[in-house]
A and B are shown apart, each in its own frame.
Chain A
Amino acid sequence: TKTSKACQGLHRSGGYSKARMEYHHVSAKNGVADENQNAEKLSHIEKAYTTILSELGEDVKREGLLRTPLRAAKAMQFLTKGYKETIQDILNDAIFDENHEEMVIVKDIDLFSLCEHHLVPFFGKAHIAYLPNKKVVGLSKLARIVEIYSRRLQVQERLTKQIASAIAEALEPAGVAVVIEAVHMCMVMRGVQKMNASTVTSVMLGSFNDNAETRKEFLALTMQK
């Protein structure tokens, strides 16, 4: 059909793999780092945090800060653990053949990520929809896909696109739609300091792009408060 060809067009142009190669991440080339490398990297990050604390004028020897560099380093590793995870790992088993072609929506997926420009969190909700083409995916896998891509240094536009491309490549559906609304702490805590501003980005692929009615239905079902 015309709509699934649109999705295939995306795959042919390597949309999904392009999204992954947009930046050259160590794990993408070398696979998962081994234990020794991890420990060494952790101590580098820890030393860096000690430098940061002392340069900010704090006393790194005081009780509350003694183990902070280690905790902050581990926290940072947790917040960027998406680099080590691949779609194949989480999806491989959970794709099922179902005779279902109606819209499937998973909405209000809490999302936490780090802005790659300031290393400051941004967080919000993701809404995902797809039109299955005889293949459906376990629902929590959609949330796991969000986790993989959001636990990285990200830009909200790229994050939305990566999630959409991942679903498109894994399921080959008739259409994929992803909407993310997030609040960026780099705008709230510093800079312009606008408390209530939020950013909305969306990616529509396949039927959601071609068919205005489909898109309207998705938006009505997800954006209604």
Chain B
Amino acid sequence: MDHSKQTQYSQNEKKDAGASSSVLNGHFDGMAKRPAGGTGRAATAAAAQPPGAESSSHRPAASVMESWREERTRSVEDNEMSLPSLAAAYTTILRGLGEDPQRQGLLKTPWRAATAMQFFTKGYQEKIIDVLNDAIFDEDHDEMVIVKDIDMFSMCEHHLVPIFGRNYHRSYLFWCLETACFMFVRLSTVQERLTKQIAVAITEALQPTGVGVVIEATHMCMVMRGVQKMNSKTVTSTMLGVFREDPKTRDEFLTLIRS
């Protein structure tokens, strides 16, 4: 079971999931035939495994799609050590913009900006397993579960300017979802990839019958600069499993999140 799951996920790398969707859905179809209680047991079993067992050498190391599953590149100690060079970089930026880093309002700004940036990207320090492991429960529940209007803040990786918006999740098993979203959104990322990462993470952790994720966000890089369109929003969505196949289920989800 494990091996086949891994091969299927490595095919999920393509952004256009057309080719792999059947594979993924085939995977979900297999799960749907099990009784509800059985899915619960499988989920806890899968989540209890360390991340090393999940990621395999089959996946190419350069794949950004999979990068969230590997060991994170930062630790709390790293944060402390990189603070001086981050602060120095910010001082350079202030000088380059023509400001005087010695004036009262700016004296400690490099340090504040460096800590703020580390906070905005603290998803790099966290792993899904840490965030999820304790909070998956067996429930005999097979109706839709929606968590909506989750405020999220991220950084656009092209301009390093904030993105903020709302997030709607859905899963077929009762579970605590908000912490997972919280972790991902700290990564500096593009919105399409973010939506997909969240959906895949939930899929892998819970093996639900379906997952839908919709993100509606405002990109400050479009509002504050460039085209400067104040009211534009970007909406991306990922539908997996039953949500992709059954239009009525998808409709119900989309109606409930719009209300």
Chain A positions within 8 Å of B, measured between CB atoms, are: 23-27, 33, 41-42, 44-45, 47-49, 51-52, 55-59, 62-65, 67-68, 71-73, 75-80, 83-84, 110, 112, 116-121, 123, 153, 155, 185-186, 188-190, 195
A47 neighbours in B (Cβ, 8 Å): 92
Most buried by A among B89, B90, B117, B121: B89
Instruction: Verify A51–B153 contact, CB threshold 8 A.
Output: no
Instruction: Verify B89–A51 contact, CB threshold 8 A.
Output: yes
Pairs across A and B, CB under 8 Å, 22 listed: A48-B93, A49-B93, A49-B160, A52-B86, A52-B89, A55-B86, A65-B157, A68-B157, A68-B158, A77-B97, A112-B220, A112-B224, A117-B105, A118-B109, A119-B109, A121-B220, A121-B224, A153-B97, A153-B109, A189-B153, A189-B162, A189-B164
Most buried by A among B105, B120, B125, B160: B160
B234 smallest CB distance to A (angstroms): 16
Number of B positions contacting A (CB below 8 A): 54
Interface check B230, CB cutoff 8 A: yes
Interface check B225, CB cutoff 8 A: yes
Distance of A155 Cα from B106 Cα, bound (Å): 11
Instruction: Verify A116–B92 contact, CB threshold 8 A.
Output: no
A52 neighbours in B (Cβ, 8 Å): 86, 89-90, 114, 117
B230 neighbours in A (Cβ, 8 Å): 110
A186 neighbours in B (Cβ, 8 Å): 116
A61 smallest CB distance to B (angstroms): 10
Contact with A along B139-161 (1 / 0, CB 8 A): 00000000000010100011111
Instruction: Verify B223–A153 contact, CB threshold 8 A.
Output: no
A56 with B117: in contact, given A24-B103, A64-B157, A189-B153 (CB under 8 Å)? Answer: yes
Q: Which of A45, A83, A155 contacts B92 (CB 8 A)?
A: A45
A153 smallest CB distance to B (angstroms): 6
Instruction: Verify A75–B105 contact, CB threshold 8 A.
Output: no
Q: Which of B64, B100, B188 contacts A23 (CB 8 A)?
A: B100
For window 202-218 of chain B, which residues contact chain A by CB distance below 8 Å? Answer: none
A48 with B89: in contact, given A56-B117, A153-B99 (CB under 8 Å)? Answer: yes
Distance of A76 Cα from B92 Cα, bound (Å): 13
